[in-house]
Amino acid sequence: MKNTGHPLESWYAATASLPDYPPLGDDITVDVAVIGGGYTGLGAALELAQRGLRVAVLEAARIGSGASGRNGGQIHTGQRVDPEQMQTQLGADAARQLWDMSEDAKASLHALIRDHAIDCDLRHGLIHAWHKPAYAADDRAYADFVAGYGYDKIRLLSRQETATELGTDVYYGASFDAGGGHLHPLKLALGMARAARDAGALIFENSPVESRGPNTLTVRGGASVRFDRLLICTNGYGTGLDARIDAHVMPINNFILTTEPLSDPAILPNDYAAADSRFVVNYWRKTPDNRLLFGGGENYTPWFPKDIKAFVRRNMLKIYPQLADMRISHAWGGTLAITLSRAPFVRRLDDRTFVSAGYSGQGVVLAPYFGKLLARAVTGDARDIDLLARLPTPAFFGGRLLRWPALVAGLSYYALRDRL
């Protein structure tokens, strides 16, 4: 879906102050050009500016108006790929390094919020609820494995404990991660932009890149940026920008609603975030003004459903049928990006060009930090992105023309398996 700015029906946009940044109007020369004004690009720009480099961020629409300002705001632990699987793929040492990297990313996020006084409604605690009994064994194995890394913040909940924490009895149990949490994602993005600007980064909105040369970008209107290094940080909104990325990163759409303020105190009484074990995951939390913010359902087309409220509401009512008469105040969609393996696509594409994309739903923690890692690579320390580049991210089947039907067929199979 093309990003044309903040969705009019977004609760996030309705509850954040949206500063304006100018479009690029004149030719400029920088050390590093960043395409994309979301978490990754802003994290990179902040780090580069703090290191004294001249950096420009080019955002096609508005800062944070892509996935960074539309997502569920959930803080998850670890990489998207299970650490035991990474150990099988890369060996014990590399898997441990990638785990430590994800914990560094979480600590970096908290430090970013604290050091730059970003008011983004940060809360702690996340529940992973099992829609089938078999997922109890998976979560128990995961908790045991990461305990070997010294991570002791996960505990399992009985079915009754889960019902008490969630306010619904539809799940068979859950795991609780005290190291997880949730926040207002758009406020985070806007706070990062402010911090990057204050550090000296140049930020331009409504400046889509229309052509690209070896060391030059030209935006709509004709102004150009001459650069020494280029960071592509567009995630799900960069299709067509670089074929080397398109082969490995696929945009998909996900949808969220918010209700009117709740009157039922039994729903999420401890203000934790929640997500379930379905392949097409449901995820939810409460807002500071006591609304239920619920995400569920996705599609794989260039278009959003005509009635997003109805599209998401049916999933919400399977979990909270008691909300059948509750009015939906806001509903919106956003485009994220996945890879075939669900591992992020992070690497040096050539001597000038670096990319980080395909967070597969865990961008709140990983994207700001991976932007910082891109900045480190530009300034000479590429060890972390070289490690990330070892994660398998095979090309999607069928190339540009056939990858969509292949993806839809595959994801539809897993979605069907959820219902069996």
pLDDT at 406: 59
d(CA 220, CA 25): 9
d(CA 258, CA 10): 9
The residue count for the chain: 420
Longest CA span, the chain? 62
Examine residue 418 and state whether it is found in any structural domain, yes or no: no
Task: For residue 352, give every residue at least 6 positions away whose Cβ sits within 8 Å of its Cβ, in sequence order, or none.
Answer: 214, 215, 227, 228, 229, 230
d(CA 84, CA 344): 17
d(CA 420, CA 416): 7
CATH code of the domain in which 91 resides: 3.50.50.60
Would you call 305 exposed, middle or buried from its count of C-beta atoms within 10 A (0-12, 13-18, 19+)? middle
Total domains, the chain: 1
Looking at the whole model, is its pTM more than 0.75?
A: yes
Would you call 51 exposed, middle or buried from its count of C-beta atoms within 10 A (0-12, 13-18, 19+)? middle
pLDDT at 405: 64
d(CA 68, CA 6): 11
d(CA 342, CA 360): 6
> Angle, nearest 10°, between helix axes 135-147 and 83-90?
60
Examine residue 199 and state whether it is found in any structural domain, yes or no: yes
- Domain hosting residue 229, numbered range: 11-410
pLDDT at 300: 86
Examine residue 188 and state whether it is found in any structural domain, yes or no: yes
d(CA 64, CA 187): 9
300 with 411: CB under 8 angstroms? Answer: yes
Examine residue 2 and state whether it is found in any structural domain, yes or no: no
pLDDT at 397: 78
pLDDT at 302: 84
Q: How are strands ordered across the β-sheet holding 202-204?
A: 202-204, 55-58, 32-35, 229-232, 353-357, 345-348
| 126: phi then psi, degrees, rounded to nearest 5 | -145, 135
266 with 281: CB under 8 angstroms? Answer: no
d(CA 263, CA 269): 12
pLDDT (tens digit, 0 to 9) for every residue of the chain, 420 residues total?
677 789 989 999 999 999 999 999 999 999 999 999 999 999 999 999 999 999 999 999 999 999 999 999 999 999 999 999 999 999 999 999 999 999 999 999 999 999 999 999 999 999 999 999 999 999 999 999 999 999 999 999 999 999 999 999 999 999 999 999 999 999 999 999 999 999 999 999 999 999 999 999 999 999 999 999 999 999 999 989 999 999 999 999 999 999 999 999 999 999 999 999 998 999 999 999 999 999 999 998 888 999 999 999 999 999 999 999 999 999 999 999 999 999 999 999 999 999 999 999 999 999 999 999 999 999 999 999 999 999 999 998 766 555 656 566 555 544 555 555
- Mark 286-299 as b/e (b = at least 16 C-beta within 10 Å): bbeebbbbbbbbbb
d(CA 271, CA 126): 9
